[in-house]
Structure 1
């Protein structure tokens, strides 16, 4: 009887031991799982995301970094600097003062670089990109100044006298205008330029992997948090305000800008539509058969921003010809065919 009781006690103790061992192992496995989960989250936390508002639109910035505390203050400073230099919506900016005829303004590096890039694209596009179109942008009601009512061909012809980037220059850091009425509008390139300045700031901090998006204009370098090229989507030109996508592309150390007239336009009482892309040669804001132009290049985002605007002014057929002669640019175009049906076109070097 004593032997049987001893065996029973040992078995009972063994059972308690196994029960305790099970609880210990269960807790241990939970701790291991938590550590693994935390490690994964910690690894993914190298991806930083910044979002906010700038120059009348929104921005989304993603970058991979383990050393720096953050770039919010630096980005705010860059936005402020661009606004103070090139925003026509800020009365005290350099561009606003120059537009009002102040000839004493000594332009900063921002204004000068945007000016030189604009001059280059103006010449390459034979004037289809022209930031001196500002007086017409205002006249049609798309700028910061009052629009001209009952705008007709006679008034447009009189305003065209003050349009032409060949009528302006920079000498000794000061802008020279052939006519005081010439009105600069860098909105078609300044947004891309702001993207570039943010990207350059990351590169100066030795950050190799980032994507800066401001109002749809993008500069991407390196790879995303998964080690893949940054992937973005190109929207369909939906006039009803909905958002669908025509295609997706990967950016390999490239910039992309998209210009389109499907979101920013005015409709008159008689139903006539006027788009915000003003033809600097004719002075009119009529819609062309090109609905959307997305331009990709390894150059700066400011450059593709300007080229995308120029293509919209050219229309589809002329844009195709231009792209055939400028193979440093890739493009995805959405246009309306002779039946009014929406079609897409990819440049020969568009390999996404």
Structure 2
């Protein structure tokens, strides 16, 4: 059945917030807006696209998308003991294991981001996440003792990973966590599959990571809402338009706990072994690659309001910073973001 107008709002994941606002559909020339979604990676996914004559049936499109998501889960999930990466994580030091090409690709990206951030970003922080209560093997959210922290930090360090042919090897008992990359990779892979099927007007989302291409049924661009980083309600802070770009938001305000009047978030600096303590509440990145947007938004959040800003400027990354102050939030965006966002700032009510 074809409908004239519908509205869908997506809440993001991974500490950030994004939304799809005022998606228009209608009937004309045999085209229609199709949408489907479901659970994935402990959250959900959503696909919206313009179906035109001669394209595969929506059931076939959905089957292809879910095949990709199932493969990502089998290869990269740290919440199932039989995934490829968890089998590697269970290996002792000085061991290697054959890995699928996508896993090795994500390790290479993670190594690059670690080197560029001088080790603040690190794929091997899973033992720290578990220790502080944020990881898949965590028991409770608590500030660990100095002794426990020192012990676990010996199991962290991207320099202990190396790729040898088709194998991933470890020089210490490190564990890899793809939480900052896997969803972005899934979105890129889904987008490539949609394009291969002849679908060129779509918005693909998985656990809050988004990529859009083409136009909606009425010819207008896909518009995304960036939400204000608040715990109590969802408030649109900025509307942006996307075409052949991905967007990712990372924030410290969705996954955190408080102890003795101090706030501890799930964003970790591998240098300190502790959650970040700066004033950057969230950062949004626009990039042609959802994989890179996913990783870079996490990296910039870890680096903080000044180091992250400098990194974005050096690497020409479109970034939208929301900084926490005593009187509220301050927004800071760079020229690359303004050029790529395709929309004017949302006015405050």
Partner of 2:332: 345
Pick aligned residue for 2:203 from 211, 216, 223: 211
Pick aligned residue for 1:49 from 18, 29, 35: 35
Partner of 1:153: 146
Partner of 1:255: 246
Give runs of ≥4 in structure 1 deviating > 3 Å.
42-45, 102-105, 146-150
**Relative contact order higher in (CA < 8 Å, ≥ 6 apart):** 2
- In the alignment, the residues of structure 1 paired with residue 97 and residue 184 of structure 2 have an alpha-carbon distance, to the nearest angstrom, of 24
2:113 pairs with 1:113: no
2:165 pairs with 1:172: yes
- In the alignment, the residues of structure 2 paired with residue 302 and residue 150 of structure 1 have an alpha-carbon distance, to the nearest angstrom, of 31
- In the alignment, the residues of structure 2 paired with residue 150 and residue 194 of structure 1 have an alpha-carbon distance, to the nearest angstrom, of 33
- Could you say if the C-alpha distance between residues 150 and 277 of structure 1 is closer, same or farther in structure 2, counting changes exceeding 3 Å? closer
1:107 shift after superposition: 0.6
SS at match of 1:162: coil
- In the alignment, the residues of structure 2 paired with residue 234 and residue 255 of structure 1 have an alpha-carbon distance, to the nearest angstrom, of 13
1:344 shift after superposition: 0.4
Count of paired positions: 308
- In the alignment, the residues of structure 1 paired with residue 139 and residue 116 of structure 2 have an alpha-carbon distance, to the nearest angstrom, of 30
- In the alignment, the residues of structure 2 paired with residue 312 and residue 112 of structure 1 have an alpha-carbon distance, to the nearest angstrom, of 24
Partner of 2:268: 278
Matches of residues 303-314 of structure 1 in structure 2 within 5 Å?
303-314=292-303
Structure 2, unaligned runs of 5 or more? 5-25, 344-349
SS at match of 1:295: strand
SS at match of 1:105: strand
Q: Please provide the CA RMSD for this pair.
A: 1.9
Could you list the per-position Cα deviations for residues 215-242 of structure 1 after superposition, in whole angstroms to 9, with x for gaps in the alignment?
A: 22111112222222211010110022x1
From the CA coordinates, give the structure whose radius of gyration is larger: 1
Instruction: Give TM-score, length-normalised by structure 1.
Output: 0.83
Pick aligned residue for 1:58 from 44, 64, 84: 44
- In the alignment, the residues of structure 2 paired with residue 340 and residue 85 of structure 1 have an alpha-carbon distance, to the nearest angstrom, of 45
1:138 shift after superposition: 0.8
- In the alignment, the residues of structure 2 paired with residue 160 and residue 63 of structure 1 have an alpha-carbon distance, to the nearest angstrom, of 45
Greater helix proportion: 1
1:340 shift after superposition: 4.9
Which moved further from structure 2: 167-176 or 122-131? 122-131
Partner of 1:238: 230
Could you list the per-position Cα deviations for residues 131-172 of structure 1 after superposition, in whole angstroms to 9, with x for gaps in the alignment?
A: 111110111111111348661233223322222212201112
- In the alignment, the residues of structure 2 paired with residue 108 and residue 302 of structure 1 have an alpha-carbon distance, to the nearest angstrom, of 17
Could you list the per-position Cα deviations for residues 246-299 of structure 1 after superposition, in whole angstroms to 9, with x for gaps in the alignment?
A: 10111131111000011111233x34321111111100114420001000012x
- In the alignment, the residues of structure 2 paired with residue 324 and residue 48 of structure 1 have an alpha-carbon distance, to the nearest angstrom, of 38
Partner of 2:17: none
Could you list the per-position Cα deviations for residues 20-59 of structure 1 after superposition, in whole angstroms to 9, with x for gaps in the alignment?
A: xxxxxxxxxxxxxxxxx9xx62547522111211111122
1:320 shift after superposition: 1.3
- In the alignment, the residues of structure 1 paired with residue 139 and residue 166 of structure 2 have an alpha-carbon distance, to the nearest angstrom, of 31
Which moved further from structure 2: 145-154 or 314-323? 145-154
Any conservation in 2 of the 1:129–1:306 contact (CA below 8 Å)?
no
- In the alignment, the residues of structure 2 paired with residue 86 and residue 183 of structure 1 have an alpha-carbon distance, to the nearest angstrom, of 12
2:219 pairs with 1:227: yes
Matches of residues 62-211 of structure 1 in structure 2 within 5 Å?
62-66=48-52, 67-70=55-58, 71-101=61-91, 103=95, 105-147=97-139, 151-180=144-173, 182-211=174-203
- In the alignment, the residues of structure 1 paired with residue 107 and residue 276 of structure 2 have an alpha-carbon distance, to the nearest angstrom, of 26
1:68 shift after superposition: 1.0
Instruction: Give TM-score, length-normalised by structure 2.
Output: 0.83
Greater strand proportion: 2
SS at match of 1:138: helix
